[in-house]
Amino acid sequence: KNQVEQSPQSLIILEGKNCTLQCNYTVSPFSNLRWYKQDTGRGPVSLTIMTFSENTKSNGRYTATLDADTKQSSLHITASQLSDSASYICVVSAGNFNKFYFGSGTKLNVKP
């Protein structure tokens, strides 16, 4: 069964600290893996897209990693800011490009 599991479900960190969010998937055939940021009351916004051959991709303070062998990805946030408070969603695309499998997200709360 094609699934995307994210952990933790929620996370509280202090401003300025780093954190890492996890994503495990069982989607096949794998096409790409995406991380989105969703602010409260808004739609998701794309952070990174990684294909099979990419194992790291950065977007500012966000760095995503992909291990296609173990089917795991992580999103590392460096020097967190209050504006990083949001849900982070991992999405895996299967061979049919209209098949996107969404994780249920990690809700991050950055406190001052």
Partner 1 sequence: NAGVTQTPKFQVLKTGQSMTLQCAQDMNHEYMSWYRQDPGMGLRLIHYSVGAGITDQGEVPNGYNVSRSTTEDFPLRLLSAAPSQTSVYFCASRQGGSNQPQHFGDGTRLSIL
Interface residue with partner 1, options 18, 28, 46, 83 (CB under 8 A): 46
Query: Contacts with partner 1 in 64-93 (CB under 8 A)?
Result: 89, 93
Task: Provide, rounded to whole angstroms, the least separation between the CB of residue 58 and partner 1.
Answer: 16
Interface residue with partner 1, options 12, 45, 79, 82 (CB under 8 A): 45
**Residues facing 102 on adjacent strands:** 91
Pick from 94, 52, 99, 87: which is nearest to 73 by CA? 52
Interface residue with partner 1, options 1, 60, 69, 98 (CB under 8 A): 98
Bin 69: left if φ > 0, else alpha if -120 < ψ < 50, else beta: alpha
Which are the contacts of 42, defined by CB distance < 8 A and separation ≥ 6?
Answer: none
Interface residue with partner 1, options 23, 44, 64, 80 (CB under 8 A): 44
10 versus 18: smaller Cβ distance to partner 1: 10
| Angstrom distance (rounded) from CA 61 to CA 84 | 10
Backbone angles phi, psi at 8, to 5 degrees: -75, 175
Q: Please tell me whether residue 102 binds partner 1 under the rule CB under 8 A.
A: yes
Per CB under 8 A, residues contacting partner 1 are: 4, 31-32, 34, 41-46, 49, 51, 89, 93, 97-98, 100-105
